[in-house]
Structure 1
Amino acid sequence: MADKTPSQTQGILHYIPPISAFVPSRPSPSASLNPLQTQEPSNVLLWVGGLSDTYRSVSYPYKLASLLPPTWELAQACLSSSGHGWGHGSLGQDVAELAKIVDYFRNLKGGKGKVVLMGHSTGCQDGLHYVSSPVLEGTTRPAIDGLILQAPVSDREALVQETSKEVYGAANEMAARWIKRGKGEDILPFSVTPGVFGRVPISARRWLSLASPGPDHAGEDDYYSSDLPIERLRQSFGKVPKGTPLLILYGEKDEYVPQSVDRQALVRKWMGVVREAGSVVDVDSARLVRGASHNLNGQDEGVVEELCARVVEYLGRVERGGFETESASKI
């Protein structure tokens, strides 16, 4: 659930047409502090939210921004799909826009420093799509120095959990029929799409991408379902570049994960696929975030602080270039 408390936040809004990224201000360091703390941060943690998220809809990134080391700053991406735009967006569009933001900050920092992408919820799909999907001819996608997946859950499994079989099936049937008729970009009627997403205009194409029905579950957004075969995971987690260490932050109390899913076993399976490919996944990924809900809004301060501490520790290792590389057999 989004944080609906009115608020204002000081910072710098970077406009990268037609999208933007917001960097929250941090307390001004005292002149008595270490001179390094008065320097401009050289590294960027680029945070991207999930379905319907926009600035301030998720609270913890602003707490995290205040706790980052002085060499890092947090920038929250606002893409064309942010807010209610996701219903007719796509992962490919998101990745193309994120590439523009990464390129912007790399140029802003003079080509120095690190850029780490942190996805929340459907932002995790964006993150894994960024590093695993083919780069289209005629386009560029600057490399990132790290990837964090916070609350990487299955939209399909959440939909099945939150809606009746009849409603879910009817929406899938109509969307598939429209696509066959060349109406994939047309908006499905609100009377058909489940209220779990609210009254958001959703195209037939995007609906099937998220709902991913059928025995092969071919929806583009279906990255994190617990029943995906290992070969499918090798085309996503198995494509994480060797120079892009991965951190997974899976909530112990994420309300969108069915009770039947063994969360820790699922994360360990993903870790195994990454290591099988010779890439690096932070060993701390195997530990669920204690007490954490999906977006941590309204959570006890201790839960938020644990998540923030794990991100800060990870970023320190990214900056130093020091990661423990256990073999898959030790998972």
Structure 2
Amino acid sequence: MVNRYRAARKGLVHNYTNRLTAFEHTPKPDSSSAQNLLIFIGGLFDGLQTVPYTDIISNALPETWSLAQVHLSSSYTGFGTSSLLRDATELAKCVTYFRTIKTGKIILMGHSTGCQDVMEYLTGPGHKKHPAIDGGIIQAPASDREAIVMTMDPSQYLHSVAVATKMVEDGGVEEIVPRVEINGVMPAPVCARRWLSLASPYHDGDDDYFSSDLKDEQLMKTFGALPKGSPICVIFSGEDEYIPKTVDKQGQIKRWAEVAKNGEGRVDEESSGVVDGASHNLAGNPEAVVNDLVKRVLLFLYSLSKDARGLEALLN
């Protein structure tokens, strides 16, 4: 089982830009050989060490890799007044910084809304100006809109959208939506702009990357726009509590992979898949379930580095 109370971690704190940091795990005796980097991005409410499997992935990485958890302005409860665009801009600064001290590959790995950040970095507005990365991993790519609809009473949901829309129309784009209007779904301040980005029923929210009802022409602007040199790995949690049970997760992966093929990008279908029995962030899940996630991450990393020996050892 994943331990809720984890031991202290050794590492390096990097100030990659003003007032923002990244914590690089250094659990191995000689970390100087770790020139390849996995940059981990949490979801809504996440911050340093809030996603329980990061230590396990870090411990499993070969000596040539290390994991760094990035702190963004949207971390913890800051997401409600931030945006994916701001996240991507800060991630670009983080990648730029690490490119000055790492000589190997850099991969972005997102959990939950961190998945949207990976897609925003690779395909969102201004993405061509971002420093290139060697690939991306998205774990638990849930739709915030579908999760909110699952949680809220339908009439309350539509009312909250109407309230936020009126606030925007009246010039209160960055004003905080009264908590009573969103029924306590987000126990953190959320401005009208971000609420509509997360919850808009019109499929036009900036955060709406993974909803199961998106049309192919919408997906062509995201998965179909993935850059040629940055393949992605998609890992769903089989028992994700924020994804409707009606969603065919394996079908989603296949659909996204086909859309990517119609562009220049690629979804790595060998490492991608559904982790059976996994909850959204794998908290409290059995060791075998967590190991399935870790194996998929390593499989993707080994395939990118063309480490045949490491790949063979992993598969055996």
Q: TM > 0.5 between the two?
A: yes
Q: 1:252 maps to what in 2?
A: 238
Q: Quote how far apart the aligned CAs of 1:195 are.
A: 2.1
Partners of 1:157 and 1:106 in 2: CA distance: 37
How far off its partner does 1:287 sit?
2.7
Paired with 1:280 and 1:230, the residues of 2 have a C-alpha distance of 16
- What SS does structure 2 have at the residue aligned with 1:201? coil
Deviation at 1:87, TM superposition (A): 0.3
Shift of 1:270: 0.6
Deviations 1:52-94 (A, max 9, x none): 0001111101110011011100000110000000000001100
Which residue is 1:261 aligned to?
247
| 2:39 alignment partner in structure 1 | 46
Aligned to 2:99: 106
Match for residue 57 of structure 1 among 42, 50, 55: 50
Supply the distance in 2 between the matched residues of 1:6 and 1:62 (Cα, whole angstroms).
9
Give the secondary structure class of the aligned counterpart of 2:289. helix
Partner of 2:106: 115
**RMSD, aligned CA:** 1.8
CA distance in 2 between partners of 1:235 and 1:186 (Å): 29
Query: Unaligned stretches of 5+ in structure 2?
Result: 309-316
Determine if the alignment matches structure 1 residue 212 to structure 2 residue 205.
no
161-170 vs 220-229, greater mean Cα deviation: 161-170
Question: How far 1:258 moved relative to its partner?
Answer: 0.6
1:4/1:57 contact within 8 Å kept: no
Whole-angstrom distance in 2 between the partners of 1:264 and 1:208: 28
Distance 2:262 2:61 in 1: 32
Q: Which amino acid aligns with 2:159?
A: A
Structure 1 residue 7: Cα displacement: 5.3
Give the letter for the 1:258 counterpart. P
Deviation at 1:234, TM superposition (A): 0.2
1:224 matches 2:210: yes
* In structure 1, C-alpha distance between the alignment counterparts of 2:291 and 2:23, rounded to whole Å: 22
Once the two structures are TM-superposed, the CA of residue 25 in structure 1 deviates from its matched residue by 2.4
Aligned to 1:182: 171
Q: CA deviation at 1:188?
A: 0.9
Matches of 1:284 and 1:151 in 2, distance apart?
17
Q: Which runs of 4+ in 1 moved over 6 A?
A: none
Residues 1:202 and 2:190 are matched in the alignment: yes
CA contact (8 A) 2:4 2:283 kept: no
Q: Does the CA contact (< 8 Å) of 2:271 and 2:297 recur in 1?
A: no
Q: Aligned with 2:181: secondary structure?
A: coil
Quick one: which of 128, 151, 157 aligns to 1:168? 157
> Partners in 1 of 2:272 and 2:75 — Cα distance?
30
Percent identity of paired positions between Structure 1 and Structure 2: 42
- Tell me the residue number matched to 2:8: 8
Residue number in structure 2 paired with 1:35: none
The aligned length equals: 305
Superposed CA deviations along residues 114-162 of structure 1, whole A, max 9, x for unmatched, are 00000110000000010112318xx941010001010111000000001
Q: Per the alignment, in what secondary structure is the counterpart of residue 250 of structure 1? A: strand
Pick closer, same or farther for the CA change 1:320–1:213 going to 2, 3 Å: same
TM-score (norm 2): 0.92
Residue type of the partner of 1:144?
A: I
Please tell me the residue identity of whatever aligns with 2:109.
Answer: M
Mark the runs of 5 or more structure 1 residues left unpaired by the alignment: 30-37, 323-331
8 Å contact from structure 1 (residues 268, 286) kept in 2: no
Give 1:192's aligned residue: 181
* Distance (Å, rounded) in 1 between the aligned partners of 2:79 and 2:217: 28
TM-score, length of structure 1 as denominator length: 0.88
| Contact 1:267/1:285, CA 8 A, preserved across alignment | no
Is 1:238 paired with 2:239?
no
Q: Residues 233-266 of structure 1: CA distance to partner in whole angstroms, max 9, x if unpaired?
A: 0000011111111100011111111111111111
